[in-house]
Amino acid sequence: MENTQVVFEKDDYRYMKQAITQAKKAYKLNEVPIGCVIVYEGKVIGRGYNRRNTDKTSLGHAEITAIKKASRYMNDWRLENCTLYVTLEPCQMCAGAIVQARIPRVVIGSMNPKAGCAGSILNILQIPTFNHQCEITKGVCEEECSEMLTTFFKELRKSKKKNTAVTTDGE
């Protein structure tokens, strides 16, 4: 099942901007700036941003947090009539959680050629033998999402170089 859209729905930009706002919260915590919102009937019902280092857990991904909050709002683990907006292509864990939550549509800001599981490395969201697949829309606010990540990692590398540099007095 290859169901990937390049035509955006009218509200895709608005909701992706809200996901970007979430990503900026992660950035301020010195976390990889990834943000996510889940929308049901025109209302944001779940928000999340990366907090792996802050919370000291590998489960601290934006999508996982947003799915938990949306499930609480819906009082159901099934999010069948929702759309998930995320600034970076989901990893294998998050893609699996999206499929398990039965979210029918995923809107992605920027693809992740190193670890993405919505088409870059593999496509967990559309494995035909699973009982549920997702429609994927790629590239909404792509430049802004990519630039935030690029800037974050440049600053991180610069900071690491600065912290590992040996001063002339040997300290």
Q: What is the pLDDT of residues 79-91, one digit of tens each?
A: 999 999 999 999 9
> Are 10 and 107 within 8 A, CB to CB?
no
Instruction: Establish whether 171 is a catalytic residue.
Output: no
Binding residues: 61, 91, 94
Would you say 8 and 137 are in contact if contact means Cβ atoms under 8 Å apart?
Answer: yes
Nearest to 23 by CA among 153, 151, 145: 145
Tell me the pLDDT tens digit for each residue of 11-48. Answer: 999 999 999 999 999 999 999 999 999 999 999 999 99
Among 2, 9, 31, 63, the one annotated catalytic: 63
Q: State which H helix or E strand residue 66 sits in.
A: helix 62-74
Pick out the residues of the known binding site for Zn(2+).
61, 91, 94
What confidence score (pLDDT) does residue 10 get? 83
155 CB contacts (<8 Å, ≥6 apart)? Answer: none
Kindly state the average pLDDT of the residues 98-102: 98
Each residue of 135-164: pLDDT tens digit?
999 999 999 999 999 999 999 888 887 776
Q: What is the pLDDT of residue 8?
A: 76
Which has the closest alpha carbon to 22: 49, 2, 62? 49
Domain coordinates of the chain in residue numbers? 4-141
Q: Which CATH code, of 3.40.50.970, 3.40.140.10, 3.30.9.100, 3.20.20.120, is assigned to 4-141?
A: 3.40.140.10
> Could you give the CA distance from residue 33 to residue 145 in angstroms, rounded to a whole number?
9
